Structure 1
Amino acid sequence: MNILITGATGLIGRRLVDALLSQSHQLTILTRSPHRATQYVGRQVTVWETLADQTSLDGFDAVINLAGEPIADKRWTPEQKKKLCDSRWQLTEKLASLITTSLKPPAVFISGSAVGYYGDQGEEVVDEEHSAKHHEFSWQLCAQWEALARAATSEATRVCLLRTGVVLSPTGGALTKMVLPFRVGLGGPLGNGQQFMPWIHIEDMVRGIVFLLNHHDAEGAFNMVAPNPVRNAQFSRQLGEVLHRPTLFRVPASVIRLLMGESATLVLGGQQAVPKRLHEAGFVFHYQEVKPALQDVLNK
């Protein structure tokens, strides 16, 4: 396939590029940092710096859109919220517009989203048919992001939306930040520890995207999470066991809110999200339980 990818230098993008190149696909990467992209993925890809000169996406078989400002790296000031939205919405809108104006549009548009679409769901088991209980910022961000991507839907183009949980990877991402206090013996649950934490191993995340790319009946939203979400306290305990460290220190919710502000909802709330539609489509996870996933990731 001839595939256009955004976000190729990110946590998921780098592993996805490796997987697609190993399958002999032809890749074009859209990035604001061509030199950085070449360092990460080599010179066997075509690099675009902008879409400004493009009037269509004729010639591409697929578009995979993973770009976006990291959501948990900074406090959600009004300026940061705008940056989070613009980095997702503007590019997605442009890609959807180019797809719809193509004479021979790509057969599939796979676009990012997150389980933040559901907001805090408490104890409820959450599949793709659920909607947000409260229209908090994470819902506003993801709902518009998805709506802009869905605009590319036509008889010629199917759209798949990736409602992604916490991606467990040996390099980068949320786990890298979690591990440091655990390694020095200061790890433990966040808040009361009862909030659910949907997660997915980076290998299954990449395999899931490739599955959707090749599964021609797949369209709509997909929860990109492992089948067995865990509570934060359980995750913390198993992370401590894998690292052979105690998990005695609980971080009070008040401290987290002080440090993170409104974005504290990302770690103090949660979703017991399950990959119902991936299962129905026939996808099989390699990592269904969190402890083996952590062992594999941290051993690397």
Structure 2
Amino acid sequence: MSKTVLITGGTGMIGSHLTTLLLEKGYEVSYLSRKKEPVPNVKVYKWDVSKGIIEEEALAKADYLIHLAGAGIADQRWTRERQQEIITSRTQSIELIARHLQGRPYKLKAFVSSSATGFYGANTGDIRLTEETRSGTDFLSHVTRSWENASELIHNVGVRTTKFRVGVVLSKEGGALPKIAAPIRWGVGSPLGSGKQWVSWIHIEDLCKMYIEALENEKWNGIYNAVAPTPVTNKDLTSQIAKVLKRPLWLPNVPSLALKILFGQMADVVLGSNYVVNDRIAKTTDFTYSFESVSAALQDLLNS
């Protein structure tokens, strides 16, 4: 009998790619969704976090749970209301699931939750950041600490729990890459700010393979930095994209001040520097990357 993976946030960029891989491997996939709209080959269950409602069958039939749901970090300006939504969309949903798991004889074997490299702070310069590095003190750090603390509620009811601090996900379907590549395609691309800020990235294929490995391999637990082995600077990333697209880079860097005026506090997302390394994955697992270099990742994503 095939195993069932229940996903929150399944229709997003990561969830959609992950669903494809899971179905290819013979898993059954189900979603928890605010709108019970049909998804091909997926069973959709409704939940309403604000009302504390979740369809009982969703958890009862799940062998594994992956939590991806959460309001987009860079989708809107960070008003006070938006900041609160970013936090509660990640934490209250886990709290609801934990309450429903409490004291019930469900068969859930593993729980995998997203977090983010923002845990360490929006701008940590050239400091080498491992899973042992302490949390930062800014808004992104607060979001991810709250997210990870909420995930412990699932661990506390006896479910093996893995948390991935995800870096910049490279995908042609969304996220940062299409936004960076678009002006380069038009011949008006350039590095952002100083261009020296570190970008700790991961190809979406490798990220989704990590999620599946964390489900299947009982040795995976706790915190992992979900990043490729080779961080690059913003300037290097921009140059590599231009090289793959065979487009020139001739404009000066986009000034930091202009980005701060345009995006406000949210400019930290693109101007911040994080040199995050994958110590636990490299030293404690047998995980094999399909895309270890950013050039290979970009060739795959931009030429396909």
TM-score range, shorter chain: over 0.9
Q: Partners of 1:27 and 1:264 in 2: how far apart?
A: 36
2:278 maps to 275
Tell me the equivalent position of 1:92: 94
1:295 corresponds to which of 296, 299, 303 = 299
Q: Where does residue 259 of structure 1 map in the other structure?
A: 262
Match of 2:289 in 1: 285
Given that 2:45 and 2:55 are in contact with CA atoms closer than 8 Å, whether structure 1 keeps it comes out as no
Aligned residue number for residue 22 of structure 1:
24
User: What amino acid is the match of 1:283?
Assistant: F
Q: Which amino acid aligns with 2:290?
A: H
2:84 corresponds to 1:82: yes
Distance in 1, matches of 2:20 and 2:156, equals 30
- Matched to 1:96, the amino acid is A
Question: Where does residue 47 of structure 1 map in the other structure?
Answer: 44
Q: Tell me how far apart the structure 2 counterparts of residues 88 and 155 of structure 1 sit (CA, whole Å).
A: 19
Residues 1:188 and 2:190 aligned together:
yes
Structure 2 distance, partners of 1:115, 1:248, is: 31
Alpha-carbon distance, 1:45 to partner: 2.0
Shift of 1:138: 0.3
Secondary structure of 1:291's aligned partner: helix
Instruction: Work out whether residues 6 and 29 of structure 1, in 8 Å CA contact, stay in contact via their aligned partners in 2.
Output: yes
| 8 Å Cα contact 1:190-1:267 kept in structure 2 | yes
Aligned twin of 1:198: 200
Name the structure 2 match of 1:150.
152
Q: 1:130 aligns with which of 128, 133, 138?
A: 133
Structure 1 residues 200 and 163: CA distance shift in structure 2, 3 A: same
TM-score, length basis structure 1: 0.93
The secondary structure found in structure 2 opposite 1:123 is: coil
| SS of 2:154 mapped into structure 1 | coil
**Superposition RMSD on alpha carbons, in Å?**
1.6
Q: Deviations over 1:48-90 (max 9, x none)?
A: 1216144693442111011111111211111211221121111
CA–CA distance in structure 1, aligned partners of residues 130 and 102 of structure 2: 29
The alignment's TM-score, normalised by the length of structure 2, stands at 0.92
Counterpart of 1:34? 36
Deviations 1:17-62 (A, max 9, x none): 1111112212221112333x52xxx0x2211121614469344211
| Higher alpha-carbon deviation: 71-80 or 44-53 | 44-53
Query: 1:154-233 maps to which residues of 2 (within 5 A)?
Result: 154=156, 156-233=158-235
Q: Which runs of 5+ in 2 are unaligned?
A: none
Give distance in 2, aligned partners of 1:190 and 1:158.
40
TM superposition shift of 1:219: 0.7
Matched to 2:98, the amino acid is A
* Corresponding residue for residue 240 of structure 1: 242
Letter in 1 for 2:297: A
Residues in 2 aligned to 1:62 and 1:28: alpha-carbon distance in whole angstroms: 10
Tell me the distance in 2 between the aligned counterparts of 1:63 and 1:73. Answer: 26
The whole-number CA distance in structure 2 between the counterparts of 1:34 and 1:177 is 30
Equivalences, count: 294
**Aligned partner of 1:219: which letter?**
N
